[in-house]
Chains A and B, each alone.
Chain A
Amino acid sequence: MNSICDMLGIKYPIFQGGMAWVANHAIAAAVSEAGGLGIIAAGNAPADWLREEIRACKKITNKPFGVNVMLLSPYADEVAKVVAEEGVKVVTTGAGNPGKYMDLWKEKGMKVIPVVPSVAIAKRMEKGGADAVIAEGGESGGHIGELTTMVLVPQVVDAVSIPVIAAGGIADGRGFAAAMMLGAEAVQIGTRFLVAEECKIHEAYKERVLKATDIDTVVTGRSTGHPVRGLRNQLTRSYLQMEKDGADLNKLEQLGAGALYKAVVEGNVINGAVMAGQIAGLITKRQTAQEIVDELMLDLKEVMEARVRQINEELYK
Chain B
Amino acid sequence: MVFEKLQAIVADKLGIEESEVKLESTFRDDLGADSLDLFEIVMALEEEFGVSISNEDVEQIQTAGDAVNYITERQ
Contacts and interface: CB of A to CB of B under 8 A. Distances in A.
Nearest to B13: A120
Nearest to B52: A127
Nearest to A118: B36
A100 interface: yes
Given A145-B36, A225-B34, A120 B55 contact: no
A145 B34 CA distance: 11
Nearest to B44: A120
A108 B34 CA distance: 34
Contacts of A117: 36
A123 interface: yes
Given A145-B36, A146-B36, A225-B34, A123 B43 contact: yes
A99 interface: yes
A124 B56 contact: no
A99 B36 contact: no
B43 A124 contact: yes
Interface in A132-146: 145-146
B69 interface: no
Contacts of A124: 39, 42-43
B72 interface: no
B39 A121 contact: yes
A44 interface: no
Contacts of A225: 34-35
Interface residues of B, number: 10
A97 interface: yes
A297 B25 CA distance: 52
A145 B36 CA distance: 9
Interface in A141-155: 145-146
A128 B54 CA distance: 10
A309 B54 CA distance: 49
B40 interface: yes
Contacts of A123: 43
A233 to B, nearest CB: 27
B56 to A, nearest CB: 7
Contacts of A118: 36, 39-40
A298 B55 CA distance: 42
A99 B55 contact: yes
Contacts of B54: 99
B35 A120 contact: no
Interface string B39-50: 110110000000
Contacts of B55: 97, 99-100, 128
Interface in B3-40: 34-36, 39-40
Given A225-B34, A225-B35, A120 B40 contact: yes
Contacts of A145: 36
Nearest to A225: B34
A120 B13 CA distance: 12
Given A99-B56, A100-B55, 7 more contacts: A99-B55, A117-B36, A120-B40, A121-B36, A121-B39, A123-B43, A124-B43
Nearest first, the 8 closest Cβ-Cβ pairs linking A and B are A120-B39, A97-B55, A99-B55, A120-B40, A118-B36, A120-B43, A121-B39, A124-B39
Interface of B: 34-36, 39-40, 42-43, 54-56
9 contacts: A99-B55, A99-B56, A100-B56, A117-B36, A118-B36, A121-B36, A121-B39, A123-B43, A124-B39
